[in-house]
Structure 1
Amino acid sequence: MARLLGVWRRHGSRRGSADLAAGIRMLVLEGRLPVGTGLPAEREVAAALGVSRTMVATAWEALRGEGLVVSRRGAGSWSALPPGAHAREDELPGAGDMIDFTRAVPAAVPGVAGAAAAALPRLTAELAGHGYYELGLPVLRERIADRFTARGLPTVPEQVLVTNGSHHVLAMALRLLAGPGDRVLIEQPTYPNAIDAIRAAHALPVPVAMTDEGWDADAIEVALRQAAPRVAYLIVDFHNPTGHRLDAEGRARLGAVLRRTGTPAVVDETHVELDLDGDPLAGPPPLAAFAPDWVIAAGSASKSHWGGLRLGWVRASTEIINRLAAARRSIDLGSPVFEQLVLAELLGDPEPELRERRAELVTRRDALVEAVRTHCPEWTFRVPAGGLSLWCRLPAPVSTRIAVTAQNHGVWVVPASRFAAQGGLERWLRLPFTQPPEVLADGVRRLALAAASVLDSRAAPAVLNPV
């Protein structure tokens, strides 16, 4: 708990209990202290943090009043959620006056409703059958395969499996390829839920740091040879959260490394259609084109069309597809038919909706860039050519403190430590540009106020709390 809290003091000794309660509140609401976790005794917390037991007791009492800590005589205390609260940053609402910078997910493209209406007659025909398609609807698999072919990777429907999102692909691949104690290579930073999935499989994430230019191919090869991971998880198209994209030369080199080391890789292509400065069909070929037997490509409709469809897909060799389908039976028996019919309609002529999506995101990206430059001029970042967020470098290691303080200014934001296997990254903050420009501008203005209060007080703990 002490490590997760990091630098939690904001107001010196006068409001230490309030600061401690705020830090623990963030851990619970963000999901880093899962609901139901047994909490250490007050004296243990006090000893670990170097504070008085009275301060801890006061913080605990405040959290009990909010329903975030529950205590029972003889049973101890544990983390909880009051009614209507949320445990994960990807579940936190932007309700009321709160502005939500935790979700890098846009609203639905306008064509979803029309596609649903067009799918209804086809649903009627499906009602006479059993409704189970373990590999996915044939028409949807064919259209997904056509999209891969258009991107430079010849694909047939037999190489496609429809899933319940790209995250579902990773879960299935881990079940198939990795066991408890096995290593899984990841980039650092990376998608937080991927780290959670790896740990849920009782595997060990092996991070390789991204550089300012993107991927360090030498470091990846060294990690593959020395750590011998059973599988890798990579995001080479508009990386989440950095926004980098690996060029064709880099893909050829990485594909060669995967072949030489015999390492299968789950490649998350969730953002591949969100090329904001170019044409997705004219971009670099998929990584699977350079290592066809070793790449499991995971795609999703959540960012390109709508997260509510809860549909994704995997493209791999027919052997891997058949093995994944067999492994899937212990998880589920297929994806919902109606949603597949809707997505098949959307992919029948995908470019009009995708062009509109990209144009909207360009406007929002540029609005966020302008807002950060205006209100947070000390923050630095690359303007990404695609994806859904800015990866901002802060002037001091205060990411978690800003995330905690921002709640008081009406903003939810995820501390960068969530994007790392073992915490850290305190000089970074991810800001999605998935909301309307006026909301983005207001959110950054509020974040600037939170950041100013943190930076103004960051020297105080060293003076007031030398312990």
Structure 2
Amino acid sequence: MSNLDHGATTVSSRALGVLLDSWRASSAPGYLALADRIRLLVLDGRLPVGTRLPSERDLCAHLGVSRTTVAAAYAALRDSGHVDSVRGSGSVVRLPTRASLPRPATAEGLLDLTKAALPAADGIAEAAQRAAGRLGAYLGDSGYDQIGRPVLREAIAERYRRRGLETSADQIVVTLGAQHAIALLARVLVGRGDRAVVEAPGYPHAFEALRVAGARLVPISVTVADGWDEPALMQTLRRTSPPVAYLMPDFHNPTGATMPADQRVRVLEAAAAEGTVVIVDETMGELAIDPVLERPLPMAAYGRAVSIGSVGKSLWGGLRIGWIRADRPLVDRLVRARSAGDLGTPVLEQLVVAELLGDLDRVLEARAAHLRRGRDRVVTGLRTAFPSWDVPSPAGGLSTWVGLGAPVSSQLTLAARREGLLLAAGPVFGVDGAFERFLRVPFSYGDDETDRALAALRAAWAGVDGVQAPASPLLAEVV
């Protein structure tokens, strides 16, 4: 088992060893270091609740440690409520009940930066009031809308046309956010055992959606400095002819890289030659921070691709509206398949978003100013406090992908929890537990929250060799 299958009930010693990676880097006693790392895998969702852990004998043999070390680690996990051990069933992952949660380590409580997200844009409440006034015209039918209201589909198509990609309303399917769009496409395009090309690092919930559909993930490297490993991507397409490739070419999450126009052409041509459908995640696409003379057009303008978008990043995560832009035959397949998972997108939320899209340019201008301030504050703060770290200053997006210089991301994340700060460790963004040398730090928050986060990181880094149990075992969703 080369990686953790989210549909399985057991994780092998080998697979768990891959996820544990550099757990020995801590100077804490071995059993505590092992328990802390397994605990973090549970908190980050890399070990799903209900997963059966390897036996003590198998894990100690694989890790090359004494059985006493593994037994003590499992005992510590039982004491903290992260594992249940049942005779005959082994040790099973769980989350503690809220009654058993320890108090936060700081008086202010926990600051959750696992989500790279913005607060609601101005004008949403007013748009909701206007949309409510128009709702009466839509009450005559069932309200189960599996393709999207024409007024919103046309507004989305107009956004694409303004960005240089000719689009008609009948090429749009409105979804319950971008994650729903990814899952729907995966269900339609991927068969069990099919390969799916993904980016590494990349968006963890896309990995999850593809795995649930039965895909075997094939990672392609993306770096801050060099972007996509094009030779590896081309070779993978030629050798495996995967049904789908999932890419985020604009302000890639988490590296911030943007794919150049000429590379977009080459990738789409190679994919077309192999019959691969390129799924393009554009959720970060309009979150530019720095003005540039010329940005690439949407990827589908350079060749055949399926585009995914949403308003979760630009307007507000509380508006669960996304979309898929595809050719008409695929649109028909998506609509036919949709009822197996949901019965449509709420009409009122669609009307709210339709109201807001006409003023999106003004919103994006304000977002750019907010993100520029946040990025500069985070980048300057990190570079000053941690001169040994590699801290990029991306031209867009919501976060910076920090190089720590050592494989201590999980260890640092655990220490930060003790200081009241929740961050997603680097391996969350990998397929098989890689990226222990990296940490994603969002810059989309306000000045006070940013300063709190920087202070917590400084305190955590000072004690990174003495990691203890996290302050709160709440499962964080990475966005």
TM-score, length-scaled by structure 1:
0.90
Q: For residue 183 of structure 1, what is the aligned residue in structure 2?
A: 195
The CA deviation at 1:10 is 5.7
Kept in 2: contact 1:270–1:301 (CA 8 A): yes
1:337 matched to 2:347: yes
The CA deviation at 1:248 is 2.1
The CA deviation at 1:85 is 9.5
Give me the whole-angstrom Cα distance separating, in 2, the residues matched to 1:299 and 1:11: 41
Q: For residue 283 of structure 2, what is the aligned residue in structure 1?
A: 270
1:229 matched to 2:242: yes
Q: Which of 422, 438, 444 pairs up with 1:434?
A: 444
Kept in 2: contact 1:296–1:314 (CA 8 A): yes
Q: Structure 1 339/279 Cα, relative in aligned 2: closer, same or farther at 3 Å? A: farther
Q: For residue 218 of structure 1, what is the aligned residue in structure 2?
A: 231
Q: Which of 418, 424, 449 pairs up with 2:459?
A: 449
Q: For residue 356 of structure 2, what is the aligned residue in structure 1?
A: 346
Q: Which amino acid aligns with 2:146?
A: E
The CA deviation at 1:455 is 6.4
Deviates more, 1:210-219 or 1:23-32: 210-219
Q: Which amino acid aligns with 1:259?
A: A
Give me the whole-angstrom Cα distance separating, in 2, the residues matched to 1:95 and 1:141: 47
1:15 matched to 2:25: no
Give me the whole-angstrom Cα distance separating, in 2, the residues matched to 1:415 and 1:181: 29
The CA deviation at 1:218 is 2.8
Give me the whole-angstrom Cα distance separating, in 1, the residues matched to 2:86 and 2:200: 40
The CA deviation at 1:196 is 1.3
1:34 matched to 2:48: yes
Alignment gaps of 5+ in structure 1 = 87-91, 458-467
Q: Which amino acid aligns with 1:337?
A: V
Give me the whole-angstrom Cα distance separating, in 2, the residues matched to 1:191 and 1:85: 32
Q: For residue 419 of structure 1, what is the aligned residue in structure 2?
A: 429
Give me the whole-angstrom Cα distance separating, in 2, the residues matched to 1:77 and 1:449: 34
Q: Map residues 50-89 of structure 1 onto 2, 5 A cutoff.
A: 50-84=64-98
Q: For residue 471 of structure 2, what is the aligned residue in structure 1?
A: none
Q: Structure 1 23/285 Cα, relative in aligned 2: closer, same or farther at 3 Å? A: same
Kept in 2: contact 1:371–1:445 (CA 8 A): no
The CA deviation at 1:237 is 0.5
The CA deviation at 1:439 is 1.8
Runs of 4+ in 1 over 4 A off after TM superposition: none
Q: Map residues 156-195 of structure 1 onto 2, 5 A cutoff.
A: 156-195=168-207
Give me the whole-angstrom Cα distance separating, in 2, the residues matched to 1:352 and 1:124: 29
Deviates more, 1:65-74 or 1:258-267: 65-74
Q: For residue 464 of structure 1, what is the aligned residue in structure 2?
A: none
Q: For residue 207 of structure 1, what is the aligned residue in structure 2?
A: 219
Q: Structure 1 437/200 Cα, relative in aligned 2: closer, same or farther at 3 Å? A: same
Residue 422 of structure 1 aligns to a residue whose secondary structure is: coil
Residue 174 of structure 2 aligns to a residue whose secondary structure is: strand
Kept in 1: contact 2:47–2:93 (CA 8 A): yes
User: What do the CA deviations read for 1:351-382 (whole angstroms, capped 9, x no partner)?
Assistant: 22222222111111111111111111111132
Q: For residue 239 of structure 1, what is the aligned residue in structure 2?
A: 252
The CA deviation at 1:118 is 1.3
Q: Structure 1 253/11 Cα, relative in aligned 2: closer, same or farther at 3 Å? A: closer
Give me the whole-angstrom Cα distance separating, in 2, the residues matched to 1:26 and 1:348: 43
Q: Which amino acid aligns with 1:349?
A: D
Q: Which of 362, 365, 380 pairs up with 1:370?
A: 380
Give me the whole-angstrom Cα distance separating, in 1, the residues matched to 2:107 and 2:116: 16
Q: For residue 311 of structure 2, what is the aligned residue in structure 1?
A: 301
1:325 matched to 2:335: yes
Deviates more, 1:241-250 or 1:230-239: 241-250
Residue 304 of structure 1 aligns to a residue whose secondary structure is: coil
Give me the whole-angstrom Cα distance separating, in 2, the residues matched to 1:227 and 1:118: 51
The CA deviation at 1:456 is 9.2
Give me the whole-angstrom Cα distance separating, in 2, the residues matched to 1:219 and 1:37: 33
1:258 matched to 2:258: no
> For the aligned residues, what is the CA RMSD?
2.4
Alignment gaps of 5+ in structure 2 = 1-15, 468-479
Residue 48 of structure 2 aligns to a residue whose secondary structure is: coil
Give me the whole-angstrom Cα distance separating, in 2, the residues matched to 1:9 and 1:258: 41
Give me the whole-angstrom Cα distance separating, in 2, the residues matched to 1:272 and 1:135: 23
Kept in 1: contact 2:198–2:220 (CA 8 A): yes
Q: For residue 4 of structure 1, what is the aligned residue in structure 2?
A: 19
The CA deviation at 1:295 is 0.5
Q: Structure 1 120/236 Cα, relative in aligned 2: closer, same or farther at 3 Å? A: same
Give me the whole-angstrom Cα distance separating, in 2, the residues matched to 1:260 and 1:40: 43
Give me the whole-angstrom Cα distance separating, in 1, the residues matched to 2:97 and 2:107: 15
Q: Which amino acid aligns with 1:128?
A: G
Q: Which amino acid aligns with 2:22?
A: V
Q: Map residues 88-167 of structure 1 onto 2, 5 A cutoff.
A: 96-167=108-179
Give me the whole-angstrom Cα distance separating, in 2, the residues matched to 1:56 and 1:244: 41
Report % sequence identity: 45
Give me the whole-angstrom Cα distance separating, in 2, the residues matched to 1:389 and 1:11: 27
User: What do the CA deviations read for 1:37-71 (whole angstroms, capped 9, x no partner)?
Assistant: 11233333333333333333333333223221122
Give me the whole-angstrom Cα distance separating, in 2, the residues matched to 1:332 and 1:242: 33
Residue 418 of structure 1 aligns to a residue whose secondary structure is: helix
Q: Structure 1 85/179 Cα, relative in aligned 2: closer, same or farther at 3 Å? A: farther
Give me the whole-angstrom Cα distance separating, in 1, the residues matched to 2:242 and 2:40: 33
The CA deviation at 1:289 is 0.8
The CA deviation at 1:124 is 2.8
1:248 matched to 2:248: no
Residue 307 of structure 2 aligns to a residue whose secondary structure is: strand
Q: Structure 1 254/50 Cα, relative in aligned 2: closer, same or farther at 3 Å? A: closer
Q: For residue 313 of structure 1, what is the aligned residue in structure 2?
A: 323
Kept in 1: contact 2:176–2:321 (CA 8 A): yes
TM-score, length-scaled by structure 2:
0.88
What is the aligned residue count?
447
Q: Structure 1 364/133 Cα, relative in aligned 2: closer, same or farther at 3 Å? A: same
